[in-house]
Amino acid sequence: MKQEHEIDFNSRRGFIKTAAVVTVAAAACGSLNCSCSSQKAPAGDKVRLLSPEGEIVEIDSAYLNHQENMAVLSQHDQRVGIPGKKFVMVVDLARCKNARKCVSACQKHHYRPEDTEWLTVKLMKDSENSAPYWFPKQCFHCDNPPCVKVCPVDATFKRQDGLVLIDNERCIGCKFCMAACPYSTRVFNWAEPEMPFEIKSLTYNAETGVPAKVGTVEKCDFCPDRSREGLLPPCVEACPNGVFYFGDENEDTVTNGDETLSFTQLIKDRAAYRFLEELGTKPRVYYLPPKDRQFPVERGYENLPDKLKARFKDIIDQEKKKS
């Protein structure tokens, strides 16, 4: 990924890290009669920033008005998306061994309990004789999203950067989107979600899905809050085997943190496919077929705790019978 516009503020922490960039840049390209900034003496060193319009601008560091934990990306910005981006993911099925680091990283990042999985790893077995393989699944952020089509209040929406997000302050909890999604991606808050108080009291941000609210729908959001900082989503970072390649279709690059590849070349060379293409939903997630696998499939369930292992019981039994 290009990281031209990334600026490192060391003091920044917390999960809502929508940077100071926006306000600063707005001040920079904005009007001259901004009294507060004109009273300061220029420091001399220039900083390059990305303006909301997508231009790179230069500004004197004295005018930087650094805001920590600036929670408020405006509702409008949350709905429009990151300008110029078109997020895409490629999942290499040949590398997955159900290490489940992605799952826990996701849960940690979004403050979700253990049994709420926005990202799940399924054990797939396409037909009687075919070999089972591990199949991690996030939200596909479809370009023709059946969930967005059916939402009666525009609580779930498609952004310019390709993401499908949810405004859980608008969601009425009718669950129509859950019935409409063919990929079982969406999760409902059946009871009051538990989370630390300081998280609960935050202003809701559709880009993080935090804090969760009872009676509303939530799902994988591809972590655009991380992208705004030039970081990769936690699932991508956490994967020990580099299964997930995340990137920007406009830039034609995807990276799993270790290697950065051309998106078109990768899906061409590795014969990528999209899950249930025939439904016409146009997912933004591509899968590389599990050919020349790095791990035997058993590695994924051998050391699992019983509770998790029970999920795959049917297929495990079938495989044992065969051998």
Partner 1 sequence: MELNTYQQEAFDYQRSNIEKFGKKNLIWSIFFLLWIMVGGYALYLQISKGHVVTGMRDNVVWGLFIVNFIFFIGLSYAGAIIAGLLHLFKVSWGKPIIRLAQMMTLISVIVGPIFILLCVGRFDRLHHLFIYPRIQSPMTWDVLAIMTYFVGSILFLYMALIKDFAVYRDAKMNIPGWKQKLYKILAIGYRGAASQKRHLIISQNLLALIMIPLSIIVSSILSWIFGMTLRPGWHSTIFGPYFVLGALYSGCGVLIVAMWVYRKMYKLENYFTDKHFTNLGYCLMVLSAGYGYFTFSEYFTDWFGSAKWDSEVINKLFNPAQYGWWTLFANFFGIIIPILIVALPKTRKPNWIALASFFMVIALWVKRYLIIVPTLETPALPMQDTRIAYVKYSATWPEWALTFAGIATFLLFFTLMSKFVTVVPLSDLEDTNHHHAHHHEPVAIKTEEIQTA
3-state secondary structure (DSSP) of residue 245: strand
Residues 160-189 interacting with partner 1 (rule: CB under 8 A): 170-176, 178-180, 182-184, 186-189
Determine the interface stretch with partner 1 among 55-63, 65-73, 117-125, 235-243 (rule: CB under 8 A): 117-125
Tokens of 167: 């405004």
Pick the binder of partner 1 from 53, 68, 192, 269 (CB under 8 A).
Answer: 192
193: DSSP letter:
P
Residue 56, interface with partner 1 (CB under 8 A)?
no
Q: By CB under 8 A, is residue 155 in contact with partner 1?
A: yes
| Residue 153 in contact with partner 1, rule: CB under 8 A | yes
Query: In this chain, which stretch among 11-19, 40-48, 145-153, 241-249 interacts with partner 1, using CB under 8 A?
Result: 145-153
- Assess 26 for contact with partner 1 (CB under 8 A): no
Name the H helices within the chain: 21-29, 35-38, 75-80, 101-109, 146-150, 176-180, 197-200, 224-227, 234-238, 263-269, 299-302, 306-309, 313-322
User: How many angstroms separate the CA atoms of 292 and 290, rounded?
Assistant: 7
For position 75 contacting partner 1 by CB under 8 A, the verdict is no
Candidate residues 5, 274, 299, 311; the one interacting with partner 1 per rule CB under 8 A: 311
Q: Verify binding: residue 79, partner 1, rule CB under 8 A.
A: no
Contacting partner 1 within 243-302 (CB under 8 A): 276, 279, 281
Asked whether position 307 contacts partner 1 by CB under 8 A, the answer is yes
Ordered DSSP codes for 85-142: --EEEEEETTS-----HHHHHHHHHTT--TT--SSEEEEE--STTSPPEEEEE-----
Is 296 within 8 Å of 319 (Cβ atoms)? no
**Cβ nearer to partner 1, comparing 135 with 246:** 135
Binding site for partner 1 (CB under 8 A): 115, 120, 122-124, 137, 146, 149-155, 170-176, 178-180, 182-184, 186-192, 214-217, 276, 279, 281, 307-308, 310-312
